[in-house]
């Protein structure tokens, strides 16, 4: 499975962006799709994840109510809709996917993910 992330850019605080993560290859082997982000000097942290078949989503507390996941199975694409962006949301955003079901806190662990896309930069100006 190959993942292609896109949609990053520069936005003012309070603005919105939509990130896209498109999967190609053996996409039927994808179970969970997630977005992580990594700010300079910090580790990669989970932002949101969605079950590819179930559509059940998980959101980090820091983005609940502002970010929304959506998926288009026909296009093999998961979107991260980011509203009310804050300067602290600025980071490189990565999409990732697992081969198997992931439950509980395992969702937070980068090593649980089998596939990674290249990052897309999100910059939020204050």
In the chain, what are the helix, strand and coil shares in percent, each to the nearest 5? 15, 50, 35
- Please give the structure tokens belonging to residue 104: 């509980």
Read off the pLDDT of residues 21-73 as tens digits, 9 standing for 90 and up. 999 987 766 789 999 999 999 999 999 999 888 888 999 999 999 999 999 98
- Strand order through the sheet with 17-24: 2-6, 17-24, 77-82, 67-72
Q: Are 48 and 80 in contact (CB under 8 A)?
A: yes
Residues 93/47, Cβ–Cβ less than 8 Å: yes
How many percent of the chain have pLDDT more than 90?
77
**Which of helix, strand or coil describes residue 107?**
helix
- Check residue 62 and give its pLDDT: 97
Q: What is the pLDDT of residue 16?
A: 98
Mean pLDDT, the chain, whole residue set? 93
């Amino acid at each position: 499975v190959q993942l292609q992330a896109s949609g990053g850019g520069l936005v003012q605080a309070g603005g919105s962006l939509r990130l896209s993560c498109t999967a190609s290859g053996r996409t039927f082997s994808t179970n969970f799709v997630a977005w992580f982000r990594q700010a300079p000097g910090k580790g990669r942290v989970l932002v949101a994840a969605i079950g590819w078949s179930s559509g059940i989503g998980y959101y980090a507390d820091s983005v609940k109510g502002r970010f929304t996941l959506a998926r288009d199975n026909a296009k093999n694409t998961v979107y991260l809709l980011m509203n009310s962006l804050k300067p602290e949301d600025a980071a490189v955003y990565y999409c990732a996917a697992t081969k198997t079901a992931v439950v509980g806190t395992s969702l937070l662990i980068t090593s649980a993910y089998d596939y990674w896309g290249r990052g897309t930069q999100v910059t939020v100006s204050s």
